[in-house]
Amino acid sequence: DKSLVWFRRDLRAEDHAALYHALKNSRQVVCVFVLDTEILDALPRRDRRVAFILQSLEALDHALAALQPGAGLVVRHGIARDEIPRLAAELGVDAVYCNHDDEPAALARDAQVSQALARQRRAFLSFKDHVVFERSEVLTGQGKPYGVFTPYKNAWLRQLTPFFLSSYPVSRYAAALAPCPARGVPSLASIGFEPLELPPLLSGGSARAESLFQDFLGRMDRYDRQRDFPAVKGPSYLSVHLRFGTVSIRRLAREAWTRAQAGDAGAGVWLSELIWRDFYHQVLHHHPQVVTQAFRPEYDRIEWASGPEAEAHFVAWCEGRTGYPLVDAAMRQLNETGYMHNRLRMVTASFLVKDLGIDWRRGEAYFARQLLDFDLAANNGGWQWAASSGCDAQPYFRIFNPVSQSEKFDPEARFIERYVPELAALPPALRHAPWEAPPLALQAAGVVLGRDYPAPVVRHDEARATTLARYAVVKSRA
């Protein structure tokens, strides 16, 4: 009759599947989060995500106390596989409730926890919460997973009813929240991390997610027209909140779906993005090998660039010093803030793979370290899309031109100006490809390429030809 709710990527007290079921079925419910040293020990000592998590835990602790005086969050620091069964035994609970986390490492961990609990004769119950449709909920007529997005999306929309988007009314059963045995969220320093400030746009907690969403509601109808321009406040900036569950996907999708059904084109396109999220989630579920391999195996025959020049190119890409201003601005945005606009994720990923010829897995790993919203399924999906090796990916012979992308999506070079101030004195039209600027214009702006700003590390037309040759192996038989 006593339960433990184990929070993981669902750091909110509202509309929470596991919390709702635990409260409804138990007399007393204790809530816990484990700062898992198996994950934390591998991270750099300065990590924005850990800061985001601690902020969100603080907010969650307060939200639980607001639901029921005396309630709150227990935070443990240790190996989750051990801590959960240990705490369950200490508290003498009958069951541990949590929400599904379908990343391969999390599934392996949960299987161990479930076994340990079974040995103690305690139940392990987990629920769908993170996506609208998960695992095998949306399949083709032949019962197979979809490999192409549009038919998946159509099936997803056909299957959707208000039921799937209705919220779990946690507060109805809040009386079952037990007094918290040990409240208190540790500081970054006390768990061995450097203190750091998150930019206000990217700080943690459900209230922050809600205010971002309120702000986005006022411009959702323009999303379809504004989302591709990084200098414009077009997208929602909610990805990190979706990643850590400080906002409920049902709440967001419900609003977008209602508006889309009323004919709001912007809402319809935004809903599609949320469906992409479900799509990649189910790709990872059905094809866990994508974590290390190309979804299309023939793409693993490609020989990627290696050696000192490729290493220098990789470092230049990471540091935003490729000499291609939009690529550099984007990488600097990532390094400085932990966020990168979606259009720029496509441009920078394509540049690494198809202009520098570097294995997409290296870019994927770099994004995984830097992105505040890093999500294995979406990041892998995005990288395999850019590398043309994924399901429903960009065809390999379609190669973004980094200069025309810049002219099209940052036409006044305002985004470039923000992150590449070295070029600010150049007229905007010349900032997309400064090596093509007339020498007099460079001189007037006081810019010497190679001194003030890098000369381009590769020539796009040459790189394009090399890439087409490199990718030719995907057509030949193994």
Q: Which residues are catalytic?
A: 273, 276, 304, 342, 360, 383
Q: What are phi and psi of 15, to 5 degrees?
A: 40, 60
- What does the alpha-carbon distance between residue 64 and residue 16 come to, in Å, rounded to a whole number? 12
- What does the alpha-carbon distance between residue 356 and residue 92 come to, in Å, rounded to a whole number? 57
At 187, the amino acid letter reads: S
> Kind and range of the H or E element at 33?
strand 28-36
Nearest CB to ligand FAD, comparing residues 13 and 386? 386
Least Å distance, CB 150 to ligand FAD, is 14
Least Å distance, CB 346 to ligand FAD, is 5
- What does the alpha-carbon distance between residue 478 and residue 472 come to, in Å, rounded to a whole number? 12
- What does the alpha-carbon distance between residue 69 and residue 356 come to, in Å, rounded to a whole number? 57
Mark 280-299 as b/e (b = at least 16 C-beta within 10 Å): bbbbbbbbeebeeebbbeeb
DSSP string, 67-131: HSTT--EEEEEE-HHHHHHHHHHHHT-SEEEEE---SHHHHHHHHHHHHHHHHTT-EEEEE--SS
Nearest CB to ligand FAD, comparing residues 114 and 239? 239
Least Å distance, CB 363 to ligand FAD, is 7
- What does the alpha-carbon distance between residue 391 and residue 385 come to, in Å, rounded to a whole number? 7
Cβ-Cβ contacts under 8 Å for 375 (sequence gap 6 or more): 239, 242, 243
**Number of residue whose CB is nearest ligand FAD:** 382
Least Å distance, CB 230 to ligand FAD, is 10
- What does the alpha-carbon distance between residue 278 and residue 261 come to, in Å, rounded to a whole number? 20
Nearest CB to ligand FAD, comparing residues 85 and 235? 235
Nearest CB to ligand FAD, comparing residues 124 and 351? 351
User: Residue 7's closest CA among 101, 115, 143, 91?
Assistant: 101
Least Å distance, CB 153 to ligand FAD, is 12
- What does the alpha-carbon distance between residue 357 and residue 355 come to, in Å, rounded to a whole number? 6
Q: What are phi and psi of 17, to 5 degrees?
A: -60, -55
Nearest CB to ligand FAD, comparing residues 11 and 176? 11
Least Å distance, CB 244 to ligand FAD, is 11
Which residues sit at the interface with ligand FAD, rule CB under 6 A?
227, 235-239, 242-243, 273-274, 276-277, 280, 342, 345-346, 349, 367, 371, 373-375, 378-379, 381-383, 386
| Residue 325 near residue 432 (C-beta atoms within 8 A) | yes
Nearest CB to ligand FAD, comparing residues 359 and 375? 375
Nearest CB to ligand FAD, comparing residues 185 and 294? 294
Least Å distance, CB 368 to ligand FAD, is 7
Structural tokens at position 262: 């009323």
